Structure 1
Amino acid sequence: MSTLFYRYLHTISSPPSKSSIITYLTESLGFPKSRAVLFVNRFSSTETNPQSVIHYLKSHGFKNTDIQKWVTESPQILFSDVEKTLKSRIQFFSRFRSRWFRFGNENLIRTLSRCNWVDIKQPATRVYANIKYLEQCGIVGAQLATVIARQPRLLIMGESELKDLVSKVLDMGFTIDSRMLVHALYTVSCLSDQTFKRKSELFQSYGFTKVEFLCMFRKAPGLLRVSESKLKSGIDFFLNTVKLEKQVLLRRPTCLMLSLDERVIPRYKVLNILMSKKVLKKMPRFLSVMWLPEDEFLVKSI
């Protein structure tokens, strides 16, 4: 064989250069060059080949958008060993998915892309230990499947970290037998301590005590997944425009999770128009109107 042929074989079998990896990430996955350079300088080695990783992921149903999101959150995945690391992890989570939760490939992709599990040496041991602990907390069946689909990071947390998270939620007044516990875990796991504190202070700025704030959180754990700007706008609108008593929001904190622009404000305006035209004899209970299905609200407003 010619020297040129041997040179060709060496070229296609040897790991790509850093510059070629950067070009590949920018042209194939659409990453800005600055980010591609950051990934390569931080995680690549002389034996890594992101092309083989991406090819393997695509062969298992991952789309470019899935891979881009995954790499953004866990860039080291690009530089993992397909045979030693990636293959075994995806096979494990595929078996885990079909055995425990039977959710589709799309949810598997989302779960994997949101789990920084590449560096975990024994994922099966960690995952099953955490599931056992969550079940001991009363989170079983559909609730367990839901929280893992929403926050798969719970699967790979260290034992002490997961126990600290549960303890933090229990200290807020939730109980093991409460169906709200799983929703509280999800919410608290999504928030930093600083964010939780800022939202508590936001409610206190409108006259709610810390005890009342936690009471509202226990009634509606999803409340604190609402952005601070939306919470501020909602509290301000209900208290200062609608003139609701603070106790009303304390009893029905879920109203702060409704869309102001799409539901609350339009319906408030409709009711005021109907009152001004004396179509209504008296203003109905506003919060009751807020929870009517759209078609029922339209029928009652005509």
Structure 2
Amino acid sequence: MGAKDTKKPESVVLFLRQLGFSEVHVRDAVRVSPQILFADIEKTLKPKLQLFQEIGLTGSDLGRFISKNASLLSVSLDRRLIPCMEILKKILSLNGDHRRLILVLQRCKWVLTKVPEARLLPNISLFESHGVVGSQLSTLFSRQPTLFLMRESAITDQVRRVVEMGFSADSRMFVHALHTISCMKPETFSRKFQLFQEFGFTKEECKTMFKKMPVLFRCSEEKLKLGMEVFMDAIGFEKTVLVRRPTCLMYSIEKRVVPRYRVIEILKSKRLLKKEPKFLEVLEMPEEKFVDKFLSRFKDDAEELLIAYKGDVLDSSEEYESS
């Protein structure tokens, strides 16, 4: 390769470094899309990169984004990047704040690479025809942008599954249910339902929990199983409590549930509580309130209570086994 052959790549690297790209950013971008080294800086690279700078990606942030999504620099500016970007801005109702747009692009660069008339615009219309409009549409797009690039038949099938679970499009939970349904295989979702049933929950109770908190079913099967074992077997919750308040199963068992349970049990054993609190209420307390009400007040027992509360940090294996 002669001096003339290397001149353009060298100038491209220099241009990117001047924009704030690190050596690692440049190297990773070239690995993803080698052709950018031979792109015209003024006609191709600069206007495309300016499009991303205008939404707040500058310096090292721009370098980090392009290093992972350098193929976007090979996409047509006028036919795809600009039209798609304008559509996204409209859907997301940004009002000058582009953080949600950047998050969407980080989650799914493909929304900028397809001809908008092929999938993006038809799918937006499809969701709107099902009643997903305004803030619901914006929320769905923010959470699961890949949905808007799926085949019409796949979207229709997922909407049908959500409706069959008892959701209506005007429910604020509809898009959260659709997000959950769309981000896992049907058999995975069915296994989670089956897991609840193995602990004695009926199908209707599972549906009720899903309707109240769709995000719960995005938790791993391991987390759900551990949660039910602790709440139902160790703490003694009736399943009706979890049906009524499925948020319980979202809390960290190791960092919140078990430590708070230990503290309350010690206070009860020492008869230090004038009135025994409902553990559900204890669980839902903000951290500061819990510490103030059940730790700070009991200075004579502070060390024992603190060890019970922070034991999972001091010695997780020994403390957990003893619980």
Provide the TM-score with structure 2 as the length reference: 0.71
**Structure 2 counterpart of 1:243:** 236
**Structure 2 counterpart of 1:135:** 128
- Deviations, residues 58-81 of structure 1 (Å, cap 9, x unaligned): 86325343335x44xxxxx62863
How far has the Cα of 1:267 moved from its partner?
1.5
Rounded Cα–Cα distance in structure 2 between residues aligned with 1:109 and 1:175 = 30
User: Residues 194 and 64 of structure 1: is their aligned pair in 2 closer, same or farther, counting only changes over 3 Å?
Assistant: farther
Aligned counterpart in structure 2 of residue 192 of structure 1, from 185, 198, 202: 185
**Structure 1 counterpart of 2:85:** 94
How many pairs were matched up?
271
User: Residues 201 and 66 of structure 1: is their aligned pair in 2 closer, same or farther, counting only changes over 3 Å?
Assistant: farther
User: Is the Cα–Cα contact under 8 Å of residues 92 and 141 in structure 2 kept in the other structure?
Assistant: no
**Structure 2 counterpart of 1:8:** 3
Rounded Cα–Cα distance in structure 1 between residues aligned with 2:230 and 2:66 = 41
User: Is the Cα–Cα contact under 8 Å of residues 204 and 210 in structure 1 kept in the other structure?
Assistant: yes
User: Is the Cα–Cα contact under 8 Å of residues 49 and 79 in structure 1 kept in the other structure?
Assistant: no
User: Is the Cα–Cα contact under 8 Å of residues 86 and 118 in structure 1 kept in the other structure?
Assistant: no
More divergent stretch after superposition (181-190 vs 204-213) = 204-213
Aligned counterpart in structure 2 of residue 254 of structure 1, from 247, 251, 263: 247
- For 2:81, give the aligned amino acid: I
User: Residues 297 and 13 of structure 1: is their aligned pair in 2 closer, same or farther, counting only changes over 3 Å?
Assistant: closer
**Structure 2 counterpart of 1:49:** 36
User: Residues 246 and 99 of structure 1: is their aligned pair in 2 closer, same or farther, counting only changes over 3 Å?
Assistant: closer
Rounded Cα–Cα distance in structure 1 between residues aligned with 2:280 and 2:37 = 54
How far has the Cα of 1:260 moved from its partner?
1.9
- For 1:185, give the aligned amino acid: L
User: Is the Cα–Cα contact under 8 Å of residues 200 and 210 in structure 1 kept in the other structure?
Assistant: yes
Aligned counterpart in structure 2 of residue 160 of structure 1, from 146, 149, 153: 153
User: Is the Cα–Cα contact under 8 Å of residues 93 and 108 in structure 1 kept in the other structure?
Assistant: no
**Structure 2 counterpart of 1:215:** 208
User: Is the Cα–Cα contact under 8 Å of residues 54 and 78 in structure 1 kept in the other structure?
Assistant: no
Rounded Cα–Cα distance in structure 2 between residues aligned with 1:211 and 1:140 = 29
Rounded Cα–Cα distance in structure 2 between residues aligned with 1:29 and 1:235 = 48
How far has the Cα of 1:269 moved from its partner?
1.5
**Structure 1 counterpart of 2:71:** 78
- For 1:131, give the aligned amino acid: I
- Deviations, residues 209-255 of structure 1 (Å, cap 9, x unaligned): 33322221111101111122211111111011111111211221111
Rounded Cα–Cα distance in structure 1 between residues aligned with 2:185 and 2:45 = 32
User: Residues 264 and 157 of structure 1: is their aligned pair in 2 closer, same or farther, counting only changes over 3 Å?
Assistant: same
Aligned counterpart in structure 1 of residue 169 of structure 2, from 173, 176, 179: 176
**Structure 1 counterpart of 2:283:** 290
- For 2:130, give the aligned amino acid: C
User: Is the Cα–Cα contact under 8 Å of residues 92 and 124 in structure 1 kept in the other structure?
Assistant: no
Aligned partner of residue 123 in structure 1, secondary structure: coil
**Structure 2 counterpart of 1:202:** 195
More divergent stretch after superposition (90-99 vs 153-162) = 90-99
- For 2:36, give the aligned amino acid: N
**Structure 1 counterpart of 2:143:** 150
User: Is the Cα–Cα contact under 8 Å of residues 84 and 116 in structure 2 kept in the other structure?
Assistant: no
User: Is the Cα–Cα contact under 8 Å of residues 50 and 79 in structure 1 kept in the other structure?
Assistant: no
User: Is the Cα–Cα contact under 8 Å of residues 216 and 247 in structure 2 kept in the other structure?
Assistant: yes
**Structure 2 counterpart of 1:67:** 66
Rounded Cα–Cα distance in structure 2 between residues aligned with 1:203 and 1:114 = 31
More divergent stretch after superposition (135-144 vs 221-230) = 135-144
**Structure 2 counterpart of 1:23:** none
User: Residues 66 and 173 of structure 1: is their aligned pair in 2 closer, same or farther, counting only changes over 3 Å?
Assistant: same
Aligned partner of residue 63 in structure 1, secondary structure: helix
More divergent stretch after superposition (292-301 vs 247-256) = 292-301
Provide the TM-score with structure 1 as the length reference: 0.75
User: Residues 67 and 228 of structure 1: is their aligned pair in 2 closer, same or farther, counting only changes over 3 Å?
Assistant: farther
Aligned partner of residue 119 in structure 2, secondary structure: helix
Rounded Cα–Cα distance in structure 2 between residues aligned with 1:245 and 1:294 = 25
Rounded Cα–Cα distance in structure 1 between residues aligned with 2:250 and 2:174 = 19
Rounded Cα–Cα distance in structure 2 between residues aligned with 1:228 and 1:213 = 14
- For 1:267, give the aligned amino acid: R
Rounded Cα–Cα distance in structure 1 between residues aligned with 2:72 and 2:180 = 32
